[in-house]
Amino acid sequence: MTTYLCTDDIFLQHRPQGEHPERPERLVAIRRALQGSDLLARVQALPPRPATRDELRRVHSEAYLSDLERRLGPGAATAASGWLDPDTYYGPGTYQAALCAAGGAIELALRIFHSESDNGFALVRPPGHHACRDRAMGFCLLNNIAAAAAAVRAEGGRVAIVDFDVHHGNGTEQIFSGQRDILFISAHQYPFYPGTGAAVVTGEAMNAGTTVNIPLPQGSAGEEYRLIFDKIVVPALSRFAPDVILVSAGFDAHARDPLAGMSLVEADYAHMVATLVAVQPRLALILEGGYHLDALAASVLATLRVLTAASRSHAAAVDPPPAGLPLLEEVRHLATTLQSLHHLTPAEQTRTTA
Ligand SMILES: [Zn+2]
């Protein structure tokens, strides 16, 4: 079992003009923490490469990709910086970083898909899960995890995506809406940016059983997340039986994160990842958000420890939740609603979590 770590200096070249939460210092903080740990000796470096146009065309429109290349690419008439949406900046180093973020995610996902039981982490930026088929959004230019999922699918793999970034992965949901051969599960603060992600999605995006949105109340902590992993995430994954699980690993649900209002700590992220490894050892984490530098670095290290150990014992290491908290009751009710919505029957749960 090998744990791959895909990262590169190129991801530091995507720089904002002024202050912005999605900044190179995020990766610098993670790297510094890694260098002060024993983890670098336990992972295998996997260099990224730019995603090809064919790989990106699976998840983005040709018109959008051409527009990006024209405005940001090496031949851009005004080699400059600017904004693709009110939140999403670009600069001279953005285009190559974005291509390599998608390409790194693809390389990692394919490497793991073709392995026996390898796992890994793509420490890339800019992030991707808000990027839609035909537009940039929310700090994201190219949807890295969607491109990775589509690459595995193109080689015959069955892919599940679990998104525990505090924001709903609206771009990923949109890109795969109506496509029942990819399972998408997002647990996120709700209501919150970007406004999507309600339990019941109407119209084209409503794929009962394969688009599973878990809208959690502000303030949710480890107890609430463990409940929905036990009742919803694990049963949905077990029923779908993916060949590989890709994770939109954002760490902005951390209690110290400045952008959101959740209450997770490092051990909660470790527990979530250990739970997923127990379902499918072939697991690839792809970095999304996380804006408190110390909390981000500590959380990435905690999840990497689980990946390098790849042991179920981590899953049992967290204390059972205290009963009867009001927020926990609300989430318990949500879990019951979602079980009914996605036909996750109690019998199935008993079988799959045994
Ligand atoms: Zn986020």
In whole angstroms, give the CA distance from residue 46 to residue 63.
Answer: 31
How far away, in angstroms, is 259 Cα from ligand 1 center? 8
Cβ-Cβ contacts under 8 Å for 172 (sequence gap 6 or more): 129, 143, 145, 146, 161, 163, 184, 186, 248
In whole angstroms, give the CA distance from residue 128 to residue 137.
Answer: 9
The answer to whether 3 touches 311, Cβ cutoff 8 Å, is no
Task: Give the CA radius of gyration of the chain.
Answer: 19
How far away, in angstroms, is 176 Cα from ligand 1 center? 19
- Residues 14, 130, 168, 314: which is the catalytic one? 130
Q: What is the pLDDT of residue 200?
A: 83
How far away, in angstroms, is 167 Cα from ligand 1 center? 4
Q: What is the pLDDT of residue 345?
A: 76
Residues in the chain, total:
354
CATH class held by domain 3-353:
alpha beta
Q: What is the pLDDT along the chain (354 residues), one digit of tens a residue?
A: 999 999 999 999 999 999 999 999 999 999 999 999 999 999 999 999 999 999 999 999 999 999 999 999 988 866 589 999 999 999 999 999 999 999 999 999 999 999 999 999 999 999 999 999 999 999 999 999 999 999 999 999 999 999 999 999 999 999 999 899 999 999 999 999 999 999 987 655 566 679 999 999 999 999 999 999 999 999 999 999 999 999 999 999 999 999 999 999 999 999 999 999 999 999 999 999 999 999 999 999 999 999 999 744 444 445 555 555 789 999 999 999 999 889 997 655 444 444
How far away, in angstroms, is 102 Cα from ligand 1 center? 17
User: Residue type at 6?
Assistant: C
Contacts 24+ apart (CB under 8 A), 54-58: 55/102, 55/103, 55/106, 55/147, 55/150, 55/151, 56/102, 56/142, 56/147, 58/147, 58/150, 58/151, 58/154
Q: Is 14 part of the annotated catalytic residue set?
A: no
Other residues' Cβ atoms within 10 Å of the Cβ of residue 111: 18
Give the closest residue to 54 by CA, choosing from 103, 97, 98, 11.
103
Q: What is the pLDDT of residue 314?
A: 45
How far away, in angstroms, is 162 Cα from ligand 1 center? 13
How far away, in angstroms, is 212 Cα from ligand 1 center? 18
In whole angstroms, give the CA distance from residue 251 to residue 249.
Answer: 6
Other residues' Cβ atoms within 10 Å of the Cβ of residue 78: 7
Q: What is the pLDDT of residue 178?
A: 87
How far away, in angstroms, is 105 Cα from ligand 1 center? 17
How far away, in angstroms, is 126 Cα from ligand 1 center? 12
Q: What is the pLDDT of residue 310?
A: 75
Q: What is the pLDDT of residue 235?
A: 96
In whole angstroms, give the CA distance from residue 49 to residue 8.
Answer: 10
